[in-house]
Amino acid sequence: MTPHSGSQYLGADVAVASNDPEHLQFLEAAGRGEFVLQQCAECERLRYPIGNACPFCMALGWQWAAVSGRGTVYSYEVVTHPIHPSFRGLVPYVIVLVELDEQRGVPGEHDALRVLGLLVDAEGNPEPEERAGINVRVQVDFADLGDGLALPRFRLADEPSEFPVWRYGYDGAG
Amino acid sequence: MLEFPGQRLRDRYAIAGIGATEFSRDSGRTTRALGVEAVRAAMLDAGLGPGDVDGMLSYHGNDSTASPVIAGDLGIRLNFYMDCSGGGSSIEALIGLAMGAIEAGMCRTVATFRAMNGYTGNRIGGTGRQAPVFTGLSLDQGIHGMHSAAQSFAPSFMRHMYEYGTTSKQVAHVKVAHSKHASNNPRALYPKRVTVEDVLSSRWITKPLHLLDCCLETDNGVAIIVTSAEHARDLRQRPAYIMGVAGRVNKEQPGGYHWTRGPISRVAGGHAAPIVFGQAGIGPEDVDVTGSYDAFTFTTMLQLEAYGFCKEGEGGDYVSSGIIELGGARPNNTSGGHLCEGYTHGIGHVVENVRQLRHQADDYCPGWAQGQHTYDYSEGGCRQVQDVEVTMNLGWASPSTGSALIMHN
């Protein structure tokens, strides 16, 4: 159970347990600049977050599959009151819930591969809320954790949104 | 596919006793002391002695004291007990488990309690004192800066606003209504009436949630007694008969995270509704009083919508229409709820509905204990709903976990 050591995020240790190879491999792939998800060996559907069986067909077998890391913001929030000490220096920060381009509308109309992440700029600092919003296009960004690991987050993609962008507190929204 | 058993157990079980400690943010006592006082109060309320209770259930988040200790302090010998891990929406499910244990012949009368130092001990929203390390499941959510319930649930409310045009102003009416109710509750921790403007001008916690959209972490113990309807009729109080119960019901949620599947603006109550209404044989239109879990203003709204008290997407209109206020067509959380009376992890909402069904809401009416009320809902007045017959509790743990309970008098 000795955890993987030597990696840190925002000043806190990232300690992946030795019996948790799934999370370790996920963060190692990100360390190589790859955004990977689990793909079912039987029905071939991708899934997120990390799990120990396929939520669509219950199969146990799976392999890693790289995805583009591009997607659309499905929902978001602007955290102003931090809880975890590591995030105190970051507020206000935007957390985005992103629907990846792969496998949208699967298995149901309202389903997609949804991934959480901090929305950051090119320097890795939190984007201001004025630049966030539902339907904003984003792409994966990797935060270096040291010792070969990285954490997928998101930054704005330089491409037009498919649907009008909706921002809380702007144009009468919310 | 197996079918639900329908109305087989309707009216066969009842809540016969209720009890609570003071609600405070400085209990100065252990959860053991809080649990003992609450269970004892519920037993005395029902007219039961230590030899009359032989079952015990509790729920906790590693912040409580176990049933054998509470029972031992009170001289109770248990034939059945279980201390379950779980927060909001546990109480409705545990009432169903109590019925099941009695039905199975394992015991006869069950005391169910929640005891927590929710403010001075283990704060649900986190204390910021946890070790700064990311490991295990926190690698999926916590590492992205999402830690408290407010931070976890906020995207559901945001999406509801996007899909349906719901506004912060509309849901602020939940706090306004509950503060009105709390102003007529001598036990309420936050009895001051507030306005929509007060809510909207309070500081941000996580946008779209303001401080006054969030409930009050509280130190308290609350307990209820479940027994057969037949036995309850021989006890001290008018029974609150259980018509239906459902929980803890989930949405599909790979990884256990509510944001993974389906429309995140819709909540687990949509799955609990056919179970609980099917057992009770009634619909939302027959319910006089609701107790929709108010961890936040918008959680009340999302659940009322999920159970069909209004159409999908119309929750904002419903909660801002006056319907949910005392004097309205279907008041919600007449105690002031978690937003104003104090946070109990849901059990306080069930206790309040039992009070309503007994016509014994402990308000400022001099004759409340005898069921004499003025029905004048001005500040410092009455909080009893006139002619209430059917109440419903809508329990919440997260957008993807909920429970429900329907009772009548």
Burial of A33 per CB tally in 10 Å (0-12, 13-18, 19+): exposed
Per DSSP, helices labelled H in B124-246 are: 149-164, 168-182, 196-201, 229-232
Cα distance between residue B376 and residue B369, in whole Å: 17
CA atoms within 13 A on the CB side of B280: 27
pLDDT, tens digit, for every residue of B109-118?
999 999 999 9
Report the run of H or E that residue B67 belongs to, with start and end: helix B67-73
Residue of B nearest to A115 (CA): B260
Q: Tokens 């001099």 belong to which residue?
A: B366
pLDDT at A25: 98
* Residue B275 exposure: Cα atoms within 13 Å on the Cβ side: 23
pLDDT, residue A93, reads 98
The C-alpha atoms of residue A95 and residue A107 are separated, in whole angstroms, by: 25
Q: Is the peptide bond before A49 cis (omega within 30 degrees of 0)?
A: yes
Say whether B203 and A80 touch across the interface (CB within 8 A): yes
* Cβ contacts of B253 within 8 Å, gap of 6 or more: B260, B261, B400
Check if the beta carbon of residue A17 is closer than 8 Å to that of residue A38: no
| CATH topology agreement for domains B13-122+218-232 and B240-408 | yes
Q: What span, in angstroms and rounded, lies between the C-alpha atoms of B172 and B182? A: 15
Give the pLDDT score at A2: 64
The Cα A50–Cα B389 span in angstroms is: 47
Answer yes or no: is A13 within a domain.
Answer: yes
A97 to B141: CB separation less than 8 angstroms, yes or no: no
Residue to mutate among B130, B141, B161, B162, with most A CBs inside 10 A, is: B162
Of all residues in chain A, the percent with pLDDT exceeding 70 is: 99
Residue of chain A nearest B138, judged by CA positions: A14
Residue B128, pLDDT > 70, answer: no
Residue A3 lies in a domain: no
Range of the domain at A63: 8-156
CA distance A139 to chain B (A): 16
Active-site positions of B? 293, 343
Q: What is the dihedral of CA B257, B149, A97, A144, to 10 degrees?
A: -90
Cβ atoms of B218 and B64 within 8 Å: the answer is no
Q: What is the mean pLDDT of chain A?
A: 96
Q: What share of residues in chain B are helix, strand, coil (percent, to 5)?
A: 35, 20, 45
Instruction: Please report which confidence band the pLDDT of residue B164 belongs to, taking 50, 70 and 90 as the band edges.
Output: very high
- The count of CB pairs under 8 A between chains A and B is 149
- Residue B157 CA to residue B168 CA, distance in Å, equals 9
pTM over 0.90: yes
Q: How far is A114 from chain B (nearest CA, A)?
A: 6
In B194-206, which positions are buried (b, 16+ CB within 10 angstroms) versus exposed (e)?
bebebbeebebbb
User: Which chain B residue's Cα is nearest to A14?
Assistant: B134
Chain-chain contact of B207 with A84 (C-beta, under 8 angstroms): no
pLDDT of A1 higher than 60: no
B266: nearest CA partner in chain A: A110
- For B:192-211, CB contacts with A below 8 A are 203-208
Tokens found for residue B291: 């107790």
DSSP-derived secondary structure letter, B78: P
Instruction: Tell me the fold of B13-122+218-232.
Output: Peroxisomal Thiolase; Chain A, domain 1 (3.40.47)
What gap in Å lies between CA A41 and CA A51, rounded to an integer? 14
How do residues B214-235 score in pLDDT, each as one tens digit? 999 999 999 999 999 999 999 9
Contact A49/B154, CB-based, under 8 Å?
no
Closest Cα of chain A to B157: distance in Å? 9
Within the 138-167 window of chain B, which residues sit less than 8 Å (CB to CB) from chain A?
139-148, 150-151, 154-156, 158-159, 161-162, 166-167
Share above pLDDT 90 across residues of chain B, in percent, rounded to a whole number? 94
Question: Whole-number mean pLDDT of chain B?
Answer: 96
Domain B240-408 annotated CATH 3.10.310.30: no
Which band of pLDDT confidence, cut at 50, 70 and 90, is reported for residue B190? very high
CA-wise closest residue to A57 among A39, A81, A74: A39
DSSP of B25-47: S---S-HHHHHHHHHHHHHHHHT
Contacts of A88 in chain B (CB under 8 A): 128
- How do residues B250-308 score in pLDDT, each as one tens digit? 999 998 999 999 999 999 999 999 999 999 999 999 999 999 999 999 999 999 999 99
What local confidence, expressed as pLDDT, does residue A6 receive? 87
CB spacing of B135 vs A134 below 8 angstroms: no
**Structure confidence at residue B124 (pLDDT):** 75
Kindly state whether A143 is in contact with chain B, defined as any CB-CB distance less than 8 angstroms.
Answer: no
Confidence class for position B384, pLDDT limits 50, 70, 90: very high
**A1 within a domain of the structure (yes/no):** no
**Segments in A1-150 forming alpha helices (H):** 21-31
Q: In whole angstroms, give the CA distance from residue B11 to residue B8.
A: 9
pLDDT, residue B129, reads: 65
Q: Is A165 on the interface with B (CB under 8 A)?
A: no
The pLDDT tens digits for A16-44 are 999 999 999 999 999 999 999 999 999 99
Q: Please report residues of A whose CB lies closer than 8 A to that of B153.
A: none
- pLDDT, residue A4, reads 73
Confidence of residue A70 (pLDDT cuts 50, 70, 90): very high
pLDDT greater at residue B255 or residue B79? B79
Q: In what order do the strands lie in the sheet with A46-47?
A: A46-47, A36-40, A62-66
Q: Is A33 on the interface with B (CB under 8 A)?
A: no
Using the predicted structure, report yes or no on whether residue B132 has a pLDDT greater than 80: no
Q: Is the pLDDT of residue B5 over 80?
A: no
So what's the pLDDT on residue B131? 67
Place of tokens 């109060």: B41
Please tell me the distance from the alpha carbon of residue B55 to that of residue B15, in angstroms, as a whole number: 14
Round to whole Å and give the CA distance between B101 and B81: 9
- Kindly report the backbone phi and psi dihedral angles of residue B114, in degrees, each rounded to the nearest multiple of 5, phi listed first: -130, 125
Give a yes or no: residue A79 inside a domain.
yes
The total domain count for chain A is 1
Question: How far apart are alpha carbons B261 and A109 in whole angstroms?
Answer: 10
Residue B65 has pLDDT above 90, yes or no: yes
Nearest chain B residue to A77 by CA distance is B207
What is residue A5's predicted lDDT score, i.e. its pLDDT?
72
Q: Which residue ranges make up each domain of chain B? A: 13-122+218-232, 240-408
User: Which residues of chain B does A116 touch, with a Cβ-Cβ cutoff of 8 Å?
Assistant: 140-141, 144, 146, 259
Segment A55-83 shows an average pLDDT of: 97
Write down the ipTM of this complex: 0.97
Q: Is A159 helix (H, G, I), strand (E, B) or coil?
A: coil
Beta-carbon contacts of A43 under 8 Å, excluding residues fewer than 6 positions away, are A54, A56, A57, A59
